[in-house]
Amino acid sequence: MTNFSKAAIIGGGVIGGGWAARFALNGIDVAVFDPDPEAPRKIGEVYANAERALRVLCVAPLPKPGTITYADSIAEAVEGAQWIQESVSEVLALKHKVFAEIQASAPDTLIGSSTSGFKPSELQEGAVNSGSILVAHPFNPVYLLPLVELVPSPATSPETLAFAEAVLPPLGMKPLVVRKEIDAHIADRFLEAVWREALWLVKDGIATTEEIDDAIRFGFGLRWAQMGLFETYRVAGGEAGMKHFMAQFGPCLTFPWTKLMDVPEFTDELVDLIAGQSDAQSGHHSIRELERIRDDNLVGILQALKVKPWGAGETLAAYEKQLREASFGGTVEHDASKPLPLHTARVLPEWVDYNGHMTEFRYLHVFGDATDAFLTNIGMDSAYMARERSIYTVESHIRHVQEVAAGKPLALETQLLGYDEKRVRLCHIMREAETGEVLATGEHMMLSVDTKAGRATPLEEPVPARLAAIWEGGHKDLPAPDFAGRAIREI
Amino acid sequence: MTNFSKAAIIGGGVIGGGWAARFALNGIDVAVFDPDPEAPRKIGEVYANAERALRVLCVAPLPKPGTITYADSIAEAVEGAQWIQESVSEVLALKHKVFAEIQASAPDTLIGSSTSGFKPSELQEGAVNSGSILVAHPFNPVYLLPLVELVPSPATSPETLAFAEAVLPPLGMKPLVVRKEIDAHIADRFLEAVWREALWLVKDGIATTEEIDDAIRFGFGLRWAQMGLFETYRVAGGEAGMKHFMAQFGPCLTFPWTKLMDVPEFTDELVDLIAGQSDAQSGHHSIRELERIRDDNLVGILQALKVKPWGAGETLAAYEKQLREASFGGTVEHDASKPLPLHTARVLPEWVDYNGHMTEFRYLHVFGDATDAFLTNIGMDSAYMARERSIYTVESHIRHVQEVAAGKPLALETQLLGYDEKRVRLCHIMREAETGEVLATGEHMMLSVDTKAGRATPLEEPVPARLAAIWEGGHKDLPAPDFAGRAIREI
């Protein structure tokens, strides 16, 4: 990875705060410059939301967070930073003034602008060093949505773009390089088109803000979370294919489906109409509540997309893999004087039954994953399996101690209860990660098998040596939990 | 509920087939008219996708499916139907012809049109009975996306609209009544605006189809699956509120962010450019694969939104609740002189691990379903649960005897091992349904709980009486299987 340890945030609103949280929660130190005395409070609130959401999102440990400090000047903020993110108001003259101040002390450091609409060449006008400036346009909430539109101008240096492309994926983000600069880049052109059309529908009394939102989120919004426009239409075209689809719907472009020529006038009446309808629709939730609902839903959607994995779920899977590898590094030596903390999990929405509790068989799902983590740790890796050897669970005894709700963080600890030439006996305790409360216990007998011959076979190195290290290292002296070796009692 | 037992589908493409599947899988008989000889095959494929997706989507049993038959004429198809759905090509003269033929035999039956663009008053031109005609515009895939835009004209009768509004929610759908008819209703106006803008971006070489899709699905598409445009912006506006947001972004409407005045010409070059980019983007997946990926993702997203529940997840929650309530109450008498054959299953493809064998925890999945079948049989139905009583599994002992491959038919038999005032102990044997080979065994302890107080409570009638009937009817004299009451052996 490129050397990236400090970011400067110029402008600490919702977007700047979101960048600050994304950076800091990934271990990057952040210096913020914002003359607003309220900035630390506002960023603190964004950070709290971000931390809450990311800890639920990732089935992998986050690194030690970076610090967030508040600088008295732009010069102080940018000192030592490898990435400077500008998120001030959408006023070109203000952005030029900020860039001049940044480049007075850090002319060669990457400056990403969060601008929704300006082209990078507009931002670069009058700059000391245009080469280090590009658009890095994120989407709110910056700490959860992966997309960053990276827009270089011809004057942006290839090194600047390459650095941006390298830095973002390890933060769980998805850089999308826009080939040619254009007003509003890509996504905001779509948003603007929909926004303009929606204002007409409200103004003309066709639909309220709530009805418009429902027309999106009960229909095509569900499609666009996973496939975009073209792939969705490719599927809709079915066997006949994309050309057929286009032949069918192409001509609609000339139908009077949209207000092509007009821009609704932004009168006080229209603003009041929309603000009033929005109050009626959402006013019973505070903004803070809506933010959390939004974040919880985004977490659930991203995790749902991770199953395949697909789209933003693929970004999440890669991010988690990297976090896990950074935290483990393959087989780690653990303190064998106590049970091994080898697995954590989070109760996914689809693991929950109609009572809102984790379904019975998902307990075994989690225990199975914990067993896999143990087996990986004792050397049953892909090389081991390539020799047509594996270790199967032949018996499980589960005690469901507590109901578990969706979203709960789970921490597993694993104790080796014994082993011989062909068998391994172990138990797991599943705890609520934050409170430590015991939720369930599992006891399992594993058998070493020759997968080709389909019969039991002795365990092979390095497994016996690793088992011995855990056993002799302390597990043989640990008392067996009271549930181990017990049968289900007769009634 | 309104009396609704038969639907007629006129036009059996992707949309008509989606309606047919949505209706039939909810127990409605369907008659299809489509002169295409391929229609039964095409609808069969849509139905197979729909069945697969709905069975995973719903944590509740679907009703016995309705039949799908193919009629030789419109008159035959519409006979006895309470809902007639027209999904023929977007050609107004063709739709008029179809409506005339329908109303020649069924002038008073509701006709919903799947039209994307026509206004209901246009559809009604020349109709025998305009009162029974309205737009009922669904979204693909019709069997998963809840939204249906219901658009009446002034001539549509209030009874027609009221019937449509009453019929759709029990099918898991979300009717959205559009206040005033307008070309393309609501959602397709947005889709058209985005489509037009996207065509420009491709034509001008700003972005490929894949980049455009990524700009949607890694960013605002994830927001729109849950909140629409206005609620998203309300949150983005933060503490300053909706008016502030509008003051900030309102003026952008006059910026050159979208191609306001122009419609891209639909040349062969543009069609080839887009079809070629789409092939490069998605061509490595067949349409069938993409459909299943889309459906799996939609299922995951809908289930994620059900946690809160929020938006389309709220629709799903209500749908499941209704399905569960409709399913209970069917206790069957069984021969209690032997173990009870209460459950069968088939190993689904997604139950299988990378070795091609049923994953460990799916054994408990099947045993859990067998336990549910037993509990339903002894009277734990929705009425029982409505009294805040339930029966939870507190302990399970599973023996994995054989590997099980995808597609295997499973037959379960269940033996009552004992019970007392608060507890039930039972075991299941899982066999290969055809050979009778034992694949796994399960022993389970169940506890009667007060779900409100969260503690054990005595079983309530009719459960104790049903248990007694099975016990005294013969299970008390059955020998306990050798695995029952055993612990996992120490090594």
* pLDDT one-digit tens code per residue, A392-401: 999 999 999 9
CA gap B57, B72 in Å, rounded: 34
Cα separation, B310 vs A437, whole angstroms:
30
Subunit contact A364:B398, Cβ cutoff 8 A: yes
What local confidence, expressed as pLDDT, does residue B354 receive? 61
Kindly report the nearest CA distance between residue B336 and chain A, in angstroms: 19
What residues of A are in contact with residue B304 (Cβ under 8 Å)?
297, 300-301, 303-304, 349-350
Looking at per-residue pLDDT, the higher value among A39 and A326 belongs to: A39
CATH of domain B6-183: 3.40.50.720
pLDDT at B1: 47
Q: Boundaries of CATH 1.10.1040.10 in chain B?
A: 188-284
Greatest mean pLDDT among A158-162, A280-284, A304-308 lies in A158-162
Task: Please report the sign of the dihedral spanned by the C-alpha atoms of residue A144, residue A149, residue A155, residue A157.
Answer: positive
- Residue B31 has a pLDDT of 98
Q: pLDDT at position A233, please?
A: 85
| Span A405-432, pLDDT tens digits | 988 889 999 999 999 999 999 999 999 9
CA distance A393 to A398: 13
In this structure, what token pair is assigned to residue B293? 């990926």
- Cβ–Cβ pairs < 8 A, chains A and B: 540
- Name the residue with higher pLDDT: A258 or A480: A480
Q: Which residue has the higher pLDDT, A102 or B343?
A: A102
Q: Where in chain A is the domain with CATH 3.10.129.10?
A: 328-477
- Find the closest chain B residue to A217 by CA distance: B225
B249/A301 touch (CB, cutoff 8 Å), yes or no: no
- Which of B229, B274, B289, B380 to mutate: most A Cβ within 10 Å? B229
Count of residues in chain B: 491
Topology of domain B188-284, CATH: N-(1-d-carboxylethyl)-l-norvaline Dehydrogenase; domain 2 (1.10.1040)
Pairing of strands B438-450, B455-456: antiparallel
Within chain A, all domains assigned CATH 3.40.50.720 are found at 6-183
pLDDT of residue B331: 52
Predicted local distance difference test score (pLDDT) of residue B376: 85
Q: What does the pLDDT read at residue A304?
A: 83
**CB spacing of B218 vs A487 below 8 angstroms:** no
Do B206 and A182 count as a contact with CB atoms less than 8 A apart?
yes
In this structure, what are the phi and psi dihedrals at residue A461, rounded to the nearest 5 degrees? -60, 150
pTM, rounded to two decimals: 0.78
pLDDT tens digit sequence for B24-59? 999 999 999 999 999 999 999 999 999 988 877 876
Q: What is the pLDDT of residue A328?
A: 44
User: What is the reported pLDDT for A264?
Assistant: 63
Q: What is the mean pLDDT of residues A32-57?
A: 91
How much is the pLDDT for A268?
81
A31 residue type, one letter: A
Question: How close B78 comes to chain A (CA, Å)?
Answer: 27
Residues of B in contact with A361 (CB under 8 A): 361-362, 364-365, 367-368
Contact yes or no for B302 and A222 at CB 8 A: yes
- pLDDT for position B326: 67
Q: Would you give the end-to-end CA distance of chain B in angstroms?
A: 61
Residue of A nearest to B399 (CA): A395
Strands B29-33 vs B68-70: parallel, antiparallel or unpaired: parallel
Q: Which residues of A touch B265 (CB under 8 A)?
A: none
Q: Is the pLDDT of residue A450 over 60?
A: yes
pLDDT at A39: 94
Residue A327 has pLDDT above 60, yes or no: no
Q: Is the pLDDT assigned to residue A55 strictly greater than 80?
A: no
Look at residue A1 in the predicted model and tell me its pLDDT: 47
**Cα(A235)–Cα(B45) distance, rounded to whole angstroms?**
14
CB B285 within 8 A of CB B279: no
* Shortest alpha-carbon distance between residue A108 and chain B (Å): 28
pLDDT of residue A259 exceeding 60, the answer is: no
> Does residue A366 register a pLDDT over 60?
yes
| Cβ burial, residue B362 (10 Å; 0-12/13-18/19+) | buried
Q: What is the CATH number of domain B331-477?
A: 3.10.129.10
Kindly identify which residue of chain A lies nearest to residue B182, measuring between CA atoms: A206
* pLDDT value of residue A329: 38
| Cβ pair B247:A394 closer than 8 A | no
When CB atoms are compared, the residue of A13, A187, A304 closest to B304 is: A304
Chain B contact set for A393 (CB, 8 A): 360, 400
Question: Distance between CA atoms of B79 and B225, rounded to whole angstroms?
Answer: 39
pLDDT band at residue A456 under the 50/70/90 scheme:
very high
B417 vs A491: CB contact, 8 Å cut-off? yes
B307, A290: Cβ pair inside 8 Å? no
A8-17, A202-211, B181-190, B261-270, range with the lowest pLDDT? B261-270
Q: Do A179 and B206 touch (CB under 8 A)?
A: yes
pLDDT at position A332 over 80: no
CATH homologous superfamily of A328-477: Hotdog Thioesterase (3.10.129.10)
What DSSP assignment string belongs to B254-277?
GSTTS--S------HHHHHHHHHH
Question: What does the pLDDT read at residue B353?
Answer: 72
User: Which of A206, A248, A360, A365 to mutate against chain B (most B CBs within 10 Å)?
Assistant: A360
Sequence-separated (6 or more) residues with CB below 8 Å from residue A468: none
Q: Are B347 and B358 in contact (CB under 8 A)?
A: yes
- Please check the confidence at residue A330 and state whether its pLDDT lies above 50: no
For chain A, the distance separating the N- and C-terminal CA atoms, rounded to the nearest angstrom, is 61
Mean pLDDT of chain A: 89
Task: Please state, in angstroms and rounded to a whole number, the distance separating the CA atoms of residues B299 and A43.
Answer: 35
Residues in chain A closer than 8 A to B192 (CB atoms): 252-253, 257-258
Contact B487 A487 (CB under 8 A): yes
Residues of chain B with pLDDT under 70: 1-2, 59-60, 239-240, 248-264, 266, 324-333, 349-350, 354-355
ipTM value: 0.78
Task: Kindly identify which residue of chain A lies nearest to residue B446, measuring between CA atoms.
Answer: A400
